[in-house]
Structure 1
Amino acid sequence: MQSVVNLTVHGIGPISHELDPGEGDFWVGVEQFEQVLDAVVGRQDVRITFDDGNSSDVEIALPRLLERGLTAEFFVPAGLLGEQGRLDSDGVRELVGAGMRVGSHGWAHRDWRKLTPEQVDQEFTDSHRLLSELTGRQVSRVAIPFGSYDRRVLGMMRRARVTCAYTSDGGRAQPGTWLQSRDSLRRDLDAAWISDVLNGAPSLPLRARRLAARAFKRVRG
């Protein structure tokens, strides 16, 4: 079975709200985003995902995806809907109406390794319920905030009946696996970065480091 490249988009174009520390490194320009889309057209081995529920998902990304006949999956923090610079309920419905898929990015963009019991209910139960109501479809797929997970988080996701979980581990993934690694678009991306991520083969040392990091995350906690 052919492996896939999962790309993550966080924000595009002008920044309209305060970002978390370091988040600006993953905010790209419109032309950079278009470069990526043009490189992806016709590629069956590339999936496009969006995290954080930024308003640029609908205002900038959606029309450009549709122009190229592309689809994507948008992971939304349900508790932040309607905040400054974020998607609102109508935006979520617009994505679904345009043929896009919507999943959960939790409730309040918290680190899932640091949740209290009450927050666990919000992040998994409340978020899935609200997004399922908005989309009219059962939401059971997630993107892990900050890519932060451990053995405890994996257990929480299993108990919440998560059917697929996207990480930020980098590198290609097998289409049917429960944990899906992704590569995030970065502020400094260029044509060389796009070619390397889509077509390049990681060196043996890099592959070894990635495998070791994933193994460590699965057992820590």
Structure 2
Amino acid sequence: MITNLCFHGVGVCAREREDGEARYWVRESHFLRLLDEIALHPEVRLSFDDGNISDAAAALPALQDRGLTATFFALAGRLDDPASLRPADLRLLRSAGMPIGSHGWSHIPWRGVSDEVAARELVEARSALSEASAGPVDEAALPLGRYDRALVHRLKRCDYAAVYTSDRFPARAGSWFQARYSVTADDTRESIRARLARRPGLEDARGLLKSALKRVR
């Protein structure tokens, strides 16, 4: 089993785009301490959602200093936004050995959308990010973590190699569906250490059951 940890922003959230977004930003000094702990655990995989410019400005050099890699799930609809990753930033991340994934076009939940919206979010966004980053985009992360059976089928038809959720339980390394823990401003080096040291238990079993039910409803 592995543990997927997901960050969203490094620094201070200057303007919330969705209610509660600031809770998922981690101050840079705190982020560095968390990475120091994570670097001690080879079973951890890292990712970054939302495509904030802090991914390239703050996260990338910190990862490189510690010999860590992460997948960056960017938003195609924000490629011309100065607060977000632009094509040059995506190419910089890729040149540093960081995979680029799709977080869609406009950061809306993908569950229950029309065929037209699904085409933009799942297909067109992927193509735009691939072109912008000058390389393949093989994985997707679900915006806001919501999914059901219909969305899972859509994603499989798009032939993504892996799909990442916001479900909070450990994952199997080779699984197509990858659960993640989102790191928040409240996390500490001690809480991350405890999370990584904890053995799977009843809470994880409940999470697996809830995930299974969402995929068949």
Global fold match (TM > 0.5): yes
Q: After superposition, where does 1:143-162 map in structure 2 within 5 Å?
A: 143-162=141-160
- Runs of 5+ unmatched residues, structure 1: none
CA contact (8 A) 1:16 1:85 kept: no
Aligned match for 1:208, one of 202, 205, 209 = 205
Residue 32 of structure 1: how far off its partner (Å): 2.0
Give the partner amino acid of 1:178.
W
Q: Does residue 70 in structure 1 map to residue 68 in structure 2? A: yes
For each residue in 1:100-154, what CA deviation from the matched residue of structure 2 results, as whole angstroms up to 9, or x when unmatched? 1101001111100132221111111111111111223221210111111100110
Structure-1 residue corresponding to 2:110:
112
Structure-1 residue corresponding to 2:138:
140
Residue 42 of structure 1: how far off its partner (Å): 4.4
Q: Does residue 83 in structure 1 map to residue 81 in structure 2? A: yes
Structure-2 residue corresponding to 1:194:
192
CA distance in 1 between partners of 2:132 and 2:2 (Å): 29
Q: After superposition, where does 1:3-152 map in structure 2 within 5 Å?
A: 3-152=1-150
Q: Secondary structure of 1:7's match?
A: strand
TM-score when normalising by structure 2 = 0.95
Q: Secondary structure of 2:22's match?
A: helix
For each residue in 1:154-182, what CA deviation from the matched residue of structure 2 results, as whole angstroms up to 9, or x when unmatched? 01101111110011101211100000010
For each residue in 1:65-123, what CA deviation from the matched residue of structure 2 results, as whole angstroms up to 9, or x when unmatched? 11111111000111111224111111111111111110100111110013222111111
CA contact (8 A) 2:165 2:180 kept: yes
Structure-1 residue corresponding to 2:165:
167
Give the partner amino acid of 1:10.
H
CA contact (8 A) 1:17 1:84 kept: no
For each residue in 1:2-44, what CA deviation from the matched residue of structure 2 results, as whole angstroms up to 9, or x when unmatched? x111000001102233331122221111122112210122432
Give the partner amino acid of 2:212.
A
User: How large is the RMSD of aligned CA atoms in angstroms?
Assistant: 1.3
How many residues align? The count is 217
Where do 4+ consecutive residues of structure 1 move more than 3 Å?
none
CA distance in 2 between partners of 1:182 and 1:200 (Å): 15
TM-score when normalising by structure 1 = 0.93
Identity, % of aligned positions: 40
Q: Secondary structure of 2:111's match?
A: helix
CA contact (8 A) 1:32 1:189 kept: no
